[in-house]
Amino acid sequence: MRGQVQGVGFRPFVWQLARRLGLSGEVSNDAEGVLVLAAGPGLDAFERALREEAPPLARVDGVESVAAEVAGAGFRIVASGGPGAETRVTPDAASCADCVAEVFRGGRRAGYAFTNCTHCGPRYSILRGLPYDRAQTTMAGFAMCAACGAEYDDPADRRFHAQPIACPACGPRVWFEREGREVPGDAVALAAEVLARGGIVAVKGLGGFHLACDATDPMAVALLRERKRRPAKPFALMAPFGVVQAHTRVSAAEATLLADPAAPIVLLQKAGLALPEGLAPGQDALGWMLPYTPLHHLLCAAVDRPLVMTSGNLSGAPQAIGNGEAREMLAAFADGFVMHDRDIARRLDDSVERITPEGPMVLRRARGRVPGTLPLPEGFGGAPQVVAHGGQMKAAICLVKNGQALLGHHLGELDEALTWEAFLQADRDYAALFDHRPEVVAVDLHPEYRATQHGRARADREGLRLEEVQHHHAHLASCLAENGWPLDGGKVAGIILDGTGLGSDGTLWGGEVLLGDYRGFERRAWLTPAPLIGGDMAAREPWRNALVRLDQAGLSDWADEMFADKPLAMARMAAQRGVNAPLSSSAGRLFDAVAACLGICAEGQSYEGEAAMRLEALAAAAPEAGHPGHDFGIGDAGAGLRIDPSPMIRQLCEELGAGCAPGTIARRFHAGLARALAAPARALVETGEAKAVALTGGCFQNALLLDEALRALDGVPVLFHRKTPANDGGLALGQALVALARMESD
């Protein structure tokens, strides 16, 4: 059996299955997966059951069987073979129902914060090397007691070969401390007291520290925002499922996702009992996760109300993982710490996901999802090893090996010094952990991206082939790869909408229709470029984008009135002369412009995407589903079609002047933009130049925009993201596949 089959209870599962069917033989781990020798009746039923009844954390990619001579009677589990770098490492998994029940009933693990078994608990976050056994994890320093050893050695026990197995007699311990000193008493009870008084507590989790407070207390929420200097970015929440239901509208699919072993943060619509607006200002949804470790379960039970559970970091920096690091970084934020002495091997943020009308969507791929892999599409068989280093924002690394692509965990913005250190560590970490020896390094085309500079330097240093991949081509290839599009599956029309990426013509792209495949692309349509006044400042202050779009639409007088307190003359001069005002077709900046015209975040955004997220929430609440939306102009630009937002801007201002509700205007903008970009993409399919349409780029995290685009493309084959981020978190996957396609073409 190949796939995610080690460290998930697969050998005892095979042992029990073989005994049930009366088979003789043996099962072992080896360097390629799980090897079974079996003889006896019912072998066909045995093979079917290996797939259909596999343990909950297993992912069986393939079962290969050949005739064999099997000696001996009975069935046994034998020692592992080679080191296993060819096999899958299992992501961390939320506590299973059996372990949670054990924590809350009497017995030797009652109230024990590190209870786990083969079906749950830490994996990747504690792993230091392969093979996956206790000596290669951060549990190495905790010698098993006799009782845990007996469970570990019993194939009939759910803790058989559970590497993090522990109990209060032999495992890690948890304590509460204040001002660097341990406070005597029960750590969970002491933390609950601080939270009940409106305080802030730093809690050590699986992949790092969280900062927690009472989510029902607006003063506590405001205090956490003040201390963390995070004025508006939504906070994640944690609570048992019954509490979540009291504050949200949870569909069956959302309930299933919440209960997934990955335990992601799931965006859920607000409903029922109201919570403070300060948790997610201007948003119609809150991000919820269920408790996913025994410590979280115990803390939630002690507090008995929803908790804010946000990353323990300075805004923009990676979260703390070490006890000393947390004391230094979080002392100014927290009124107390819930500490423990099991080390965290690597930082892992919480994954963020949502359920859309079209199915699941991954916004941030991290704890619980990594290091999961994707099979390479047809045509990439025998691919050499590749490392791709992604982009500057939402950095993530991708490795290709043995017909699989491993897209690494979310790292963040590489301009941040600590995130850059985490990126370098991840690059070393993945290479060592998976015995990865690349022949090719793939990077973004932008020469100033730190990931690009790093990849170039590595290629030079190690004598590797370097492939530079245009940003939006990588987005397109990422969407194709996730959907299993074959190497020779034909060209697709890619609608790629995001912030900015360096185009092959030297300008900044961000609102394109490309015709292409893994091997190459042509730019067939794009949004009319507009200057980004102040460069990066345009992404932080939406009024700048509104100004240039209003001026382009012949509505300078509207801009003068809307933004009378801004330095408009100076801004217009910069735009006219092109001084620190590069042209860009960015769809992200167009969202900012529309938001600013509607009075949303015009002065500035406190976090990336704030204006667009508020605009989406406003539009989603409007009752205008099905409206064709605002008009965009489409004109011939020689090498392709230019999609002009000016007619939309003029309609928007007319509606504002007529007293139309901002939500209605926002809804019409979403529908109009989707329709305008869908038209040239649909035409490419209908003329036979493209086989399908691919929707990708960070703007397609917007569930409303995705829904409107799919409506506008009704009847046309459409590919979009479900398992990998549409944003730059999926960029490295596309880079790797483009690099492989180029090598195949040589």
Provide the annotated active-site residues: 11, 29
* Strand 352-356 versus strand 440-444 pairing type: unpaired
Say if CB 238 and CB 309 are below 8 A apart.
yes
Local structure of 413: helix, strand or coil: coil
Q: Phi then psi for 398, rounded to 5 degrees?
A: -125, 135
H-type helices in 553-702, by residue range?
Answer: 556-562, 568-577, 587-597, 610-620, 646-657, 662-686
Say if CB 292 and CB 240 are below 8 A apart.
no
In the DSSP assignment, the letter for residue 521 is E
Six-digit token string for 631 = 């008009």
What is the crossing angle of helices 568-577 and 543-552, to 10°? 70
Say if CB 371 and CB 358 are below 8 A apart.
no
Query: b/e map of 211-246 (b: 16 or more CB within 10 Å)?
Result: bbbbbbbeebbebbbebbebebbbbbbbbbeebbbe
Say if CB 173 and CB 340 are below 8 A apart.
yes
Local structure of 260: helix, strand or coil: coil
Q: Which position has the token pair 């392969």?
A: 130
H-type helices in 442-542, by residue range?
Answer: 450-462, 471-482, 537-540
How many whole angstroms separate alpha carbon 144 and alpha carbon 168? 11
Query: b/e map of 556-579 (b: 16 or more CB within 10 Å)?
Result: eebbeebbeebebeebbebbeeee
* Strand 373-375 versus strand 404-407 pairing type: antiparallel
Sign of CA dihedral 574, 576, 579, 585: positive
Selection from 585, 615, 616 nearest residue 597 by Cα: 615
Give burial (CB, 10 Å; 0-12/13-18/19+) of 554: exposed
Q: Which position has the token pair 């690099």?
A: 739
Selection from 716, 704, 700 nearest residue 626 by Cα: 704
Q: Which position has the token pair 């006896």?
A: 40
Six-digit token string for 94 = 């939320």
